Amino acid sequence: MLKENLQNIENKICEACSVSGRSREDVTLIAVSKTKPVEVLQEAYDLGVRVFGENKVQELADKYEALPKDIRWHMIGHLQRNKVKYIIDKVELIHSVDSIRLAETIDREARKHNLTANILIEVNVAGEESKFGVAPDELDAFTDEIAQFSNIRVLGLMTIAPFVGNAEENRLIFERLRKLSVDIAGKNTHNITMGVLSMGMTNDYEVAVEEGATMVRVGTGIFGERDYSHV
Ligand SMILES: *Cc1c(COP(=O)(O)O)cnc(C)c1O
């Protein structure tokens, strides 16, 4: 099941790369393993998966302890400032930075560990009230401010597109995020590069790849439906 799902997604990513003239190596598949038990992650690991995405600090820290150390963990969920310290030395990338106060905390905790934290700025492209993220028209000022933190490296942007019936409906959202990243990159701000675009989930990752995603976050498509009744 896991094996077929991974193969299926791999094929679709390859196809999306080929129709958009992109190279497969430019897209990282993040296996979003939230709510799934360690055994299932181990199974994915045995099939070659090395990049996992989690959205809860405690869960990520527990799985980090239990699983092989060559896994690259990505924090993709909303992050509370008081919990940054539990994951700062465990994650390769934090996708969900949406406030200067959070950035300040990440910077401070990173300095304590003598490391530079890699982050993405989460942008609420669609302007959905229920979603976290910096508003597109605030992004310019936000990046100017975040540049002051010497233990943070901004690698790009992330967005969570709306849940839609037809993935095509999100194409403009992905295109907009890419354009925003081009605008920010053009400013050549200290500590800020825009090589990473984290966009696309199970329902729309192919469209996201066609529009320039360098990271897609796929959960259900790999692991099946999530069961929230025990968590
Ligand atoms: C859960 C989650 C995903 C994966 O969603 P699927 O629809 O299961 O692929 C991707 N990104 C974020 C931020 C998530 O919380």
Closest ligand 1 atom, CA of 218? 9
Q: Is the pLDDT of residue 184 over 90?
A: yes
Closest ligand 1 atom, CA of 201? 9
- Asked if residues 165 and 180 have their Cβ atoms less than 8 Å apart, the reply is no
* Predicted pLDDT at 104: 98
Pocket test for ligand 1, best of 35, 55, 120, 174 (most atoms within 8 A of CB): 55
Q: Which two tokens stand for residue 23?
A: 């190279």
Residue type, 109: E
CA of residue 94 to ligand 1 center, whole Å: 14
CA of residue 72 to ligand 1 center, whole Å: 17
Q: Is the pLDDT of residue 231 over 70?
A: no
- Asked if residues 29 and 208 have their Cβ atoms less than 8 Å apart, the reply is no
Q: Which helix (H) or strand (E) holds 155?
A: strand 152-158
Of all protein residues, the one whose alpha carbon is nearest to atom 7 of ligand 1 is 202
CA of residue 219 to ligand 1 center, whole Å: 6
pTM: 0.97
Q: Is the pLDDT of residue 228 over 90?
A: no
CA of residue 113 to ligand 1 center, whole Å: 29
pLDDT in tens, 66-77: 999 999 999 999
Q: Give CA–CA dist 181/158, Å, rounded.
A: 10
DSSP string, 170-230: GHHHHHHHHHHHHHHHHT--TTEEEEEEE---TTTHHHHHHTT-SEEEESHHHH-S---TT
Q: Give CA–CA dist 24/140, Å, rounded.
A: 30
Mean pLDDT score across all residues of the chain: 97
Q: For 46-79, b where at least 16 C-beta lie within 10 A, e where not — what string?
A: eeebebbbbbbbebbbebbeebeeebebbbbbeb
pLDDT in tens, 10-47: 999 999 999 999 999 999 999 999 999 999 999 999 99
Residue 29, strand partner residues? 216
- Asked if residues 26 and 13 have their Cβ atoms less than 8 Å apart, the reply is no
- Ligand 1 contacts CB of residue 156 (under 6 A): no
